[in-house]
Structure 1
Amino acid sequence: MSRYIKSRKHAVAPLAALAASLTFPVAHAADAPATADAGSTTAAAAASPYLPQVKIEGSAQSDYKADKSASSKLTQPLLETPKTISVIKKEVLREQGAVSLIEALQNTPGITMQLGENGNTSAGDTFQMRGFSASTSTFVDGIRDLGAVTRDVFNLEQIEVVKGPAGADTGRGASAGYINLITKLPQIDNSIDGTISVGDASRKRASVDVNQKVADNTAVRLNAVWQDNGVPGRSAIERKTYGVAPSIGFGLNTATRFFLYSQHVRQDGRPDGGLPAIGWPAYSVAAPAATASQLDKDRAAALAVAPKVDRDNFYGSYGDKEKVKADMVTAKLEMDLGGDTTVRNISRYGRTHMDRILTGIIGITAVDPTNRDTWTIARSRQGVDQTNEILANQTSLNTSFRTAGLKHDLSTGVELMYERQETLNFTTTGTIPAANLYNPNPNDALPMPVRNGSGNEGSTTTTAIYALDTLSVTDALKLTLGLRTEHYNVRTTTTAVATTGGLTATKFSAGKWITSWNAAALYKLAENGTAYVAAANSLTPPGSGNFVLSATGQQAGTADAQETKNYELGTKWDLLNKRLNLTAALYRSENDGVVSVDPITNLSTQGGKVRVQGIELAAVGQLTNFWQVTAGVQTMDAKALNQRAASTATNPNQVVTDGIRWTPKWSATVWTSYQWNDITVAGGVRHVAEQKRVVTVGQPAATGLGTLPDYTVVDLMGAYRVNKNVSLQLNVTNLFDKDYMSSLNNGGGRLVLGAPRAVTLMANIGF
């Protein structure tokens, strides 16, 4: 049976589209026509003002579930794509009140946050995926996105997380996969959506999404955001964000379409240098030497049993700052040539600049071991001025054709890209006073870092050609083959302050052709179920991630590229009349070419390896017509193979590494919602198992924490539709006020805590 629903396109109340569109077979039976099927639209639903006019053919539409990737490189439906792909749609983010990319990525397991080393704190979105760094594998509409920016989701239609090496898709450095952010673009309709939020820690946010048809095939769209907030539990931390994203589309719903769009974001805040790890379970203190004084022994004993510091302590200065300017301008042309053939060209210029002054914390001194009021912690002052630029052009062709009785779905193209990063260094002169450990004073006068003339400048030029082909051998059997070859050229200049005064410049360059591939076979076990086996690789050449080359080691221009290979066996099923998707995958990734030392000669080689393997399960879609879920669980067995550090005169034994930092053995996430008439309730649970910092054989943590403890966080949401244009939404994050750390630095002495319980009230407005 077919029915039509007439209403607005953009949901104003969370899950209003779901509640309005389909019959719940038991609780809402009274609302349905006597002849309605379980998958049919009810008369009550037809009166809802929250859905576009759509035609339902006996199945439900889900706000959570996507059936196809927005990437032109992935030509098949997700059910028939032999990769692990998670699609996080904007409807899920709205329900959760998620506003940043890091918050959005909590919807997929296997992603962990990272913190910088000792006095330095990583800026922007810094994370690992399946045990490998993925910070430089973020893309916007298929083009690499660089820069130390905390990405906001105000201009995103959805987020696509592709896991496992994907060099044939995106090129160098995709050891863990990649994250593709899909931008909102103009559509042929008129709509206005707005959101206003207030919450704990003086949080205030307003966003707007306006789409306007201006001619038969032309529309404009404007997305904008303003946010001014503190951080719950951290009263000294302030963050402001302003963003605007105008766009125009010509030729919409025709064979030739042209989009011109841009995004401009400004961030201004006070960065968080974190808290000392003292007092947390398993915190350790370096044992004093046998010849140490009794005072030093008493100090060590007192530090080992000291309590935690207050989570609101701030060890920096009110003069600390972090300012980010991020701009990008994009032009995209699409032409349908007929016969399932489309040509696309996309060009982009992007520039991100970060100016930061941060106070870090280092070592603790128990001045008087019997009086904690006298204890101090040393501070450092870090200045960073970094600029990233990117100029990219991609031309692609998608087509379908037959040869020798085989159908081909081909995606091929040429990519040209120039990337540049410049980092200017600072020096802090004068004495930096220590802070009181338990009662720091942000008003302390701290010397300002000043430019010293040193720094790094690097650029990478890439020319690539790729072809990704899916061959339909039979109606049930499909083979996927992908090949990408690219030439990259890295040039770096490191300027240092000479010991005799003045500056010295060291230049390095490296460049070569590298080739990435993938291969997969997929079999349709049923119309709604597939099984597949896949293999792929990715190459990470020296300097490709941080634009820095050196004379020796992994970053030497003469070093071989690290190669990561991934093997995956999986199955995907669409159940409940294609409303619910279930996926399962066994995966194994091996990274080869890590710098190690020979166990006999003690000389450096590239004989080290990293291996991560596990299982990933996911479910997304509708359990009933009014009940939706998105969930995932992933295990990671991470090992370092043949990795040793050289022995020295002071340490005659080689240090052997057998694990990988920040790789929990398992992690899981679930978010589910249910709508009853005008009321929606939702909730979620996030769990991350213990993450190791110390991964050397036989060497427990000498100081600080050796592990980041496991944690489980529960979130809740409730929404009420006031009328057809307004709904109110209340989000409570960390419902049980769990005290947990979200990240730990590599030294083990500094941590960042997860947010305590926080409440946000949101008004969603739509016309």
Structure 2
Amino acid sequence: MSVSTKPAPSGAPAFLALACVGAILTPGSAWAADPAAPATGDAAGGGTADAGEGGSHREQWITVKGTYARPDVASAKSTASLLDTPQTITVIDKATLQKQNLLTLRDALTTLPGITFGAGEGGGGFGDSINLRGYSANTDITIDGVRDSAQYSRTETFDLQQIEVYNGANSVFNGSGSVGGTINLVSKLPEKRDETVIGASGGTDDYYRATLDSNIRVNDLVAFRLNAVYHHNDVPGRDVERYKRYGVAPAVTIGIDSPTRWTLMGYYQHDDNVPQYGVPYFPALGGKPDGIPYGQYFGYANVDRQKQTIGQLTSIVEHDFDDRFSIRNLTRWEEIKQTTVVDPPQAGVFHLGDICITGAAPLGYVPEGAGGTCKSGSIVVPEGSYLPGGPRGNLRDTRNTMLYDQVDLRGRVQTGPVSHEFVLGASAAWEHYNLDTGKLFMNADGSNPYAASGLPQIIIGGDPVDYTGPLNYVRSSKPYGSRDDYAAYLFDTSRIGELFEVNFGLRWEHSVGDFTTINYNVTPGAAFETISANIPQHTSDNLFSYRFGGVFKPTRSVSLYVAYGNSKTPSISTVNGGCTTGTVGTSTFVNFCDFAPEKAKNYEIGAKADLFHHHLQLTAALFRNERLNFRLPSTGLDESGNSVSVQVPGGKSRVDGLALGASGNITRAWTIFANYTYLKSKVIKSLPDDCEANPTGTAACNTLYLAAPLQGGPLQQTPKHSGSLFTTYQLPFGLQLGYGLTYEGSFAIVTNPSALIDGKYPKSKDWLTHRFFASYPVTPKLTAQVNVQNFTNTHYYTSIRNNGWAIPGATRSATFSLFYNF
């Protein structure tokens, strides 16, 4: 376990590794001399502390008076504390979110090493694209333990109690997938006290924000909590992109002090954003070509948009039979709608200096033609201009709905000398997905108004360009997906005396997936808008997953453990997409659903220790995560001798790594949170058996070889070194100062042989950012806070797409906030 933030530069990996363990070398006498003294600072990565009656600063709404409050996992399936759970789990609590001004899920996860981000768009559309320990985690996000598989942008943390990251293959917790791990978002619930916090913030880049967190104990039976937010900001360093949203989350608990409790929660959020698609990025030119401004927008500012609405209703009924047994039922309905119009700067032609950047592999640029001309077909691109190409004016209108129910029986029993804490449960989920997609920049008859002249060109370094042509929506397809999952599971922690614990989880799941696409003819003429359908896809799989761990406790505050777990991923792994299809000849689709599920395995050995009377926790783990049996492209012949694009199982890759963490108080005034992760990734098998021995022996195998990841090479978007640090110090008169840094090492952008440049993988550049935090209790009820992000104004890229564009990281920004507590 650990609890949140980020690390350093080229020489930074060694520094970060030392930072995570350096707290041990810091004199511990501050705690040893006064073991009963409460903490006055709060852990930079999670726990918070109260200064006591005479303290200089009370952390409103996030303190346990007079004690150090370490966050713990909130999962209903957890049967042990973080210290005694044999797995690397990172918790980012609401104190950390507030102190570092982490407003979105992406902001929060950026502070964790081992996590990178794709460039916005996955198979399900625009939204969070997360890579956890080398593997996609787009559909491995849960809210209160409930799968949240829609592809959208999780832009708010106002209603989050904490964020939990479970590292390593573990579909035993939340179902199929979870190859690299799971990310769980924990909602705020009513509490047994009266407290209201009003927040107001302003800052650079047209930043303003208002929040409300009000918990009211109505009477002995009822407690009510209301969280609300309004937010607006331009993206620092960008000309056009902005975030604008509001949200409200009421919750009420009836029977808050009784054995039987019913909590009803609602959540509503609406976003009106300009999506980020960044700038052109070509590895052969060292990344962003010289002459292209870091902040320029290459879309059409007046039509590009991302509008999303999130609606959620949750019921939780709990009953305590006695102090040993309890039962809990959670029911949730959710609907997520998103409409996007996007214009990414991929394809097209950039005319810069004496080169024409085309995006063509492998180099991405060609010299100017005779007389200094730069053309796309017959269209001339003047020097200093960009002729857009690729998917311009694409409109996607998506709708995800889900109904979910989960029941858990929790108990504690004794069998001879062994004590057990267990959870026995079952769940059912029904998900549906609809997409309406097509092109917007068209004539009413479906013809392309720019077929001859090209889309309106954009001056490089000029002002944002508005689209002034015809706007007519021409639908191209309507995919539909559904997925039903039924599961039963058992988790248990067995304690054998004071020294040994055995922790295990078992899960059986029946997963049924269906997907089909209705296609619309977009060719002008008699056949315009006529309909055809792909072959419906269907899967039905029984999945068995598990996790086992053994814990040795030489002292009560130290855990040494070994663990092993797996995950299973069916062919239809998400409601947003079906199985991969291939073609026979020119038109007939081949369904590749009838494959055994992919597998993943995680091996881990680690240690956790609570020091200084549980004020500081250190963690270390070595791990191997393997992905097995994933689909590989192949070719063959059908009965008529036609060439067939097919898929075969058998792919294999792995990630070996080291994770170090430190979180808590070094002294009563000094807190630290530090994480370091080392990842060594390798593609073990990426070609089918008939091509593996001689990948260039035939034309078909050579084609596959050039397009597949190179065997023996690294995985994409998996940096070897990454880390984070956030530390605060509270002065005697109440002022608290903090410093943080985030480091991400370079990683391979693309790994197939056809993309090699001078025999080397195109790689990103490593980056290091710094941030500053300060807070001061103006009065006992009013706290002022200052945050400066990226105060060295480093230019870097958080997401790099392998087809010619990347999203720049936010430049320097500053915010000033006031929090009033009563």
Same-fold status (TM-score > 0.5)? yes
Deviation at 1:315, TM superposition (A): 3.1
Work out whether residues 282 and 706 of structure 1, in 8 Å CA contact, stay in contact via their aligned partners in 2. Answer: no
Distance 1:525 1:321, change over 3 A: same
Q: Separation in 2 of the partners of 1:576 and 1:236?
A: 49
Deviation at 1:719, TM superposition (A): 1.4
* Equivalent position to 2:493, from 470, 485, 488: 470
Q: How do residues 553-564 of structure 1 correspond to structure 2 at under 5 angstroms?
A: 556-564=592-600
Distance 1:280 1:218, change over 3 A: farther
* Equivalent position to 2:93, from 89, 93, 101: 89
Deviations 1:499-518 (A, max 9, x none): 75511122111112111111
Which stretch shows the higher mean deviation, 601-610 or 619-628?
601-610
Deviation at 1:696, TM superposition (A): 2.2
Indicate the residue corresponding to 2:718 in structure 1.
Answer: 663
Residue 416 of structure 1 pairs with residue 420 of structure 2: no
Q: Name the SS of the counterpart of 2:344 in structure 1.
A: strand
Indicate the residue corresponding to 1:715 in structure 2.
Answer: 771
Q: Separation in 1 of the partners of 2:201 and 2:154?
A: 19
Q: Separation in 1 of the partners of 2:189 and 2:520?
A: 48
Indicate the residue corresponding to 2:660 in structure 1.
Answer: 617
Indicate the residue corresponding to 1:626 in structure 2.
Answer: 669
Residue 123 of structure 1 pairs with residue 126 of structure 2: yes
Q: Name the SS of the counterpart of 1:692 in structure 2.
A: coil
Q: Name the SS of the counterpart of 1:168 in structure 2.
A: helix
Indicate the residue corresponding to 2:135 in structure 1.
Answer: 132
Indicate the residue corresponding to 2:3 in structure 1.
Answer: none
Q: How do residues 135-146 of structure 1 correspond to structure 2 at under 5 angstroms?
A: 135-146=138-149
Q: Separation in 2 of the partners of 1:279 and 1:492?
A: 37
Give the TM-score normalised by the residue count of structure 2. 0.81
Q: Name the SS of the counterpart of 1:717 in structure 2.
A: strand
Q: Name the SS of the counterpart of 2:109 in structure 1.
A: helix
Which stretch shows the higher mean deviation, 183-192 or 447-456?
447-456
Residue 654 of structure 1 pairs with residue 682 of structure 2: no
Where relative contact order (Cα < 8 A, 6+ residues apart) is larger, the structure is: 2
Q: Separation in 2 of the partners of 1:406 and 1:207?
A: 48
Q: Separation in 1 of the partners of 2:420 and 2:788?
A: 49
Indicate the residue corresponding to 2:54 in structure 1.
Answer: 47
* Equivalent position to 2:477, from 424, 430, 454: 454
Paired amino acid for 1:505 = A
Deviation at 1:441, TM superposition (A): 3.9
Alignment RMSD: 3.0
Q: How do residues 508-527 of structure 1 correspond to structure 2 at under 5 angstroms?
A: 508-527=537-556
Indicate the residue corresponding to 1:292 in structure 2.
Answer: none
Deviations 1:438-497 (A, max 9, x none): 436422425436141512110101110000111122321111121100111101111112
Work out whether residues 198 and 211 of structure 2, in 8 Å CA contact, stay in contact via their aligned partners in 1. Answer: yes
Distance 1:157 1:54, change over 3 A: closer
Work out whether residues 377 and 437 of structure 1, in 8 Å CA contact, stay in contact via their aligned partners in 2. Answer: no
Q: How do residues 269-348 of structure 1 correspond to structure 2 at under 5 angstroms?
A: 269-277=273-281, 282-283=286-287, 306-348=290-332
Distance 1:115 1:55, change over 3 A: closer
Deviation at 1:312, TM superposition (A): 3.3
Paired amino acid for 1:492 = F
Deviation at 1:213, TM superposition (A): 1.2
Distance 1:653 1:522, change over 3 A: closer
Q: Separation in 2 of the partners of 1:665 and 1:199?
A: 35
Indicate the residue corresponding to 2:628 in structure 1.
Answer: 592
In structure 2, list runs of 5 or more residues that go unmatched.
1-25, 41-49, 357-367, 374-381, 443-447, 583-589, 638-644, 692-697
Q: How do residues 544-583 of structure 1 correspond to structure 2 at under 5 angstroms?
A: 544-550=573-579, 552=581, 556-583=592-619
Deviation at 1:600, TM superposition (A): 12
Residue 79 of structure 1 pairs with residue 122 of structure 2: no
Indicate the residue corresponding to 1:299 in structure 2.
Answer: none
Paired amino acid for 1:327 = G
* Equivalent position to 2:212, from 192, 208, 216: 208
Q: Separation in 2 of the partners of 1:750 and 1:400?
A: 54
Work out whether residues 226 and 250 of structure 2, in 8 Å CA contact, stay in contact via their aligned partners in 1. Answer: yes
Q: Name the SS of the counterpart of 2:90 in structure 1.
A: strand
Deviation at 1:745, TM superposition (A): 0.8
Residue 399 of structure 1 pairs with residue 411 of structure 2: yes
Indicate the residue corresponding to 2:790 in structure 1.
Answer: 734
Q: Name the SS of the counterpart of 2:343 in structure 1.
A: strand
Deviation at 1:41, TM superposition (A): 7.6
Deviation at 1:401, TM superposition (A): 0.7
Indicate the residue corresponding to 2:265 in structure 1.
Answer: 261
Q: Name the SS of the counterpart of 2:240 in structure 1.
A: strand
Deviations 1:589-638 (A, max 9, x none): 11111222679999742111120110001111111111111110001111
Deviation at 1:184, TM superposition (A): 0.8
Give the TM-score normalised by the residue count of structure 1. 0.87
* Equivalent position to 1:442, from 465, 469, 492: 465
Q: Name the SS of the counterpart of 1:360 in structure 2.
A: coil
Residue 383 of structure 1 pairs with residue 395 of structure 2: yes
Q: Name the SS of the counterpart of 2:806 in structure 1.
A: strand
Indicate the residue corresponding to 2:22 in structure 1.
Answer: none
Q: Separation in 1 of the partners of 2:293 and 2:127?
A: 26
Q: Separation in 2 of the partners of 1:704 and 1:420?
A: 43
Which stretch shows the higher mean deviation, 146-155 or 197-206?
146-155
Deviation at 1:374, TM superposition (A): 4.3
Distance 1:322 1:447, change over 3 A: farther
Residue 363 of structure 1 pairs with residue 372 of structure 2: no
Indicate the residue corresponding to 2:359 in structure 1.
Answer: none
Q: Separation in 1 of the partners of 2:129 and 2:183?
A: 12
Work out whether residues 635 and 700 of structure 2, in 8 Å CA contact, stay in contact via their aligned partners in 1. Answer: no
Paired amino acid for 2:419 = K
Indicate the residue corresponding to 1:678 in structure 2.
Answer: 734
Distance 1:734 1:181, change over 3 A: same
Work out whether residues 261 and 330 of structure 1, in 8 Å CA contact, stay in contact via their aligned partners in 2. Answer: yes
**Number of aligned residue pairs:** 711
Distance 1:583 1:315, change over 3 A: same
Paired amino acid for 1:542 = S
Residue 244 of structure 1 pairs with residue 256 of structure 2: no
Indicate the residue corresponding to 1:534 in structure 2.
Answer: 563
Q: Separation in 2 of the partners of 1:141 and 1:551?
A: 31
Distance 1:530 1:264, change over 3 A: same
Work out whether residues 121 and 273 of structure 1, in 8 Å CA contact, stay in contact via their aligned partners in 2. Answer: no
Q: Separation in 2 of the partners of 1:104 and 1:675?
A: 23
Indicate the residue corresponding to 2:13 in structure 1.
Answer: none
Distance 1:474 1:323, change over 3 A: same
Deviation at 1:80, TM superposition (A): 0.4
In structure 1, list runs of 5 or more residues that go unmatched.
1-23, 30-34, 285-304
Q: Separation in 2 of the partners of 1:734 and 1:383?
A: 34
Indicate the residue corresponding to 2:233 in structure 1.
Answer: 229
Q: Separation in 1 of the partners of 2:703 and 2:805?
A: 30
Deviation at 1:44, TM superposition (A): 7.8
Work out whether residues 377 and 436 of structure 1, in 8 Å CA contact, stay in contact via their aligned partners in 2. Answer: no
Q: Separation in 1 of the partners of 2:476 and 2:127?
A: 24
Distance 1:600 1:718, change over 3 A: same
Work out whether residues 543 and 555 of structure 1, in 8 Å CA contact, stay in contact via their aligned partners in 2. Answer: no
Residue 425 of structure 1 pairs with residue 409 of structure 2: no
Indicate the residue corresponding to 1:4 in structure 2.
Answer: none
Deviations 1:390-443 (A, max 9, x none): 100000011011224321111110101001111111124222333233436422
Deviations 1:54-96 (A, max 9, x none): 675xxx515xx32x31112111111100111111111111111
Indicate the residue corresponding to 2:694 in structure 1.
Answer: none
Work out whether residues 251 and 257 of structure 1, in 8 Å CA contact, stay in contact via their aligned partners in 2. Answer: yes
